[in-house]
Amino acid sequence: MGRKLRMVAVRCALSGLTLLLLSAVVFAAGQVLPGDVGRSILGPLADARAVAALDHQLGADAPPLLMYARWIGHLLQGDMGVSYAYRSPVAPFIVRALGKSSALAAVTLALVVPLSVGAGILAASRRGRWQDRLVNLGGLSLTVVPEFVSGILLILVFGVWLRWLPISANTRPGTGAPEQLRHLILPALPLVLVLFGYIARITRAGMIEALDADYTRTATLKGLRRSQVILRHVLRNALLPTITVIAAQTSYLLGGLVVVETLFRYQGIGSLILTAAHGKDYPMLEAGILTVGAAYILSAILADALVAMLDPR
């Protein structure tokens, strides 16, 4: 047990270090990006003195290292800083965007995990037959279709032509949870299509390895029912790689959805970061990227913990 605790402690320390490095990289990259904060806020026609004054007021004319040190210092006290663009604290923006992104990610996972894991299991148990080929080829073809292509097609079919689903992800304030969920289905679908093939194929590979394993034959020759063999002996071993892959995809869902969010005009953390980058809004940009980084690391740790629980080795 002591060994496991130490492992967790080391893991957390390393994660902190990773985040620190990430913030430094983002900050450095931000300095290199062309443009000027005061200029982008006030517009190209503004007076140069006004721009300089605004820069000074925002602290954007300080030496880079000082700016970085100030920001890290505040961050450690739980203060994410003040947005250059909105002139108000960053934290509420991040929290709101993260909430929206989480909702979309949750809907996507709720759809894609049962579908793709089920398809992977089906493909593995019908190896070489048409079901297997369908899952393999279909999954692969869907994975290579970019989200904006499938997104537009889905909007046209389900939103415009069939009118089954609302084409905007946003709902009016005060809308009930079921209706909010209904609005999220169409934005989630392109993501489901992208992830489906990947997760299904990993599941299929894990299933096939476990189905062919000696221990599965041992279980079969014990005279256990096929369902018992699958449930007790095969699945637990087969799904370990799938869990890791799903965790990695979760972080993609939380941070990398710029295209889908733009397409459905959904203010998740992806579009927040994009807007911040356009406007040279460093505090917002960095807080956003660090949040995504933290989500990434957190989901990886959770997946590892889950795998460690299921696999005594």
Partner 1 sequence: MSPPALSLAGLSVSYGRTPILRGLSFEIAPGACFGLVGESGCGKSTAAFAALRALPPAGRVTAGQIGIDGQDVLSLSRAGLRQLWARRVSMVYQDPSRALNPTLTVGVQLAEAFTVLGAPDPMARAEAMLARVQVPSPRRLLAAYPHQLSGGTQQRVVIAMALAKNPSLLVLDEPTTGLDATVEAEILDLVDALRREQGTAVLLISHNLPMVARMCDRIGVLYAGILVEQGEAGEVLGAPSHPYTARLVACLPGAGRRKRDGPLQTIAGGLPAPGAALAPCAFAPRCDRREAVCLSTPPPERWTGLHMALCHFTPPFPAPPGLSAGAPAEAGARPVLAARHLSKTYAGPGGAVRAVDDASLTLAAGETLGLVGESGSGKTTLARLLLGLTAPDPGGTLTLDDAALGPTIRSRSRNDRRAIQIIFQNPDSALNRAQRVRSILTRPLVRLAGLSGRALTAALSELAQGVRLGEAHLAMRPRALSGGLKQRAAIARAFAGRPRVVICDEPTSALDVSVQAAILNLLAGLQARDGVSYVFISHDLAVVRYLADRIAVMYLGQMLEVGPAEDVLAGPHHPYTAALVSASTAATRIRLKGEMPAPGAVQAGCVFQANCPRKIGPVCENVRPPFDPDAVHPVRCHLPAGELPRVDRRLAGANS
The distance of closest approach from Cβ of residue 6 to partner 1 in the complex, given in angstroms and rounded to an integer, is 11
**Single residue of 108, 237, 250, 291 touching partner 1 by CB under 8 A:** 237
Contact segment (CB under 8 A) with partner 1 among 59-67, 137-145, 216-224, 247-255 equals 216-224
Helix ranges, 222-257 (H): 226-228, 235-238, 240-255
Contact segment (CB under 8 A) with partner 1 among 36-44, 116-124, 170-178, 219-227 equals 219-227
Contact segment (CB under 8 A) with partner 1 among 112-120, 134-142, 217-225, 251-259 equals 217-225
Question: Does 278 interact with partner 1 (rule: CB under 8 A)?
Answer: no
- Determine how many CB atoms are found less than 10 A away from the CB of residue 253: 26
Q: Which of residues 100-139 bind partner 1 (CB under 8 A)?
A: 127
| 168 contacts 180 by C-beta, under 8 angstroms | no
Question: Does 312 interact with partner 1 (rule: CB under 8 A)?
Answer: yes
Query: Strand, coil or helix: what is 35?
Result: coil
The secondary structure element, H or E, covering residue 68 is helix 64-76
Question: What would the two tokens of residue 111 be?
Answer: 């759809």
**Single residue of 217, 231, 278, 305 touching partner 1 by CB under 8 A:** 217
| 206 contacts 241 by C-beta, under 8 angstroms | yes
Rounded distance between C-alpha atoms, residue 218 and residue 212, angstroms: 11
Question: Does 204 interact with partner 1 (rule: CB under 8 A)?
Answer: no
**Single residue of 218, 231, 302, 308 touching partner 1 by CB under 8 A:** 218
SS3 content of the chain, % helix, strand, coil (to 5): 80, 0, 20
Question: Does 11 interact with partner 1 (rule: CB under 8 A)?
Answer: no
Spatial neighbors of 2 by CB under 8 A, at least 6 apart, are none
Question: What would the two tokens of residue 154 be?
Answer: 């889905």
Question: Does 6 interact with partner 1 (rule: CB under 8 A)?
Answer: no
Q: Using CB under 8 A, count the residues that bind partner 1.
A: 23
The distance of closest approach from Cβ of residue 15 to partner 1 in the complex, given in angstroms and rounded to an integer, is 24
Task: By CB under 8 A, name the binding residues for partner 1.
Answer: 3, 127, 212-215, 217-225, 232-233, 236-237, 310-313
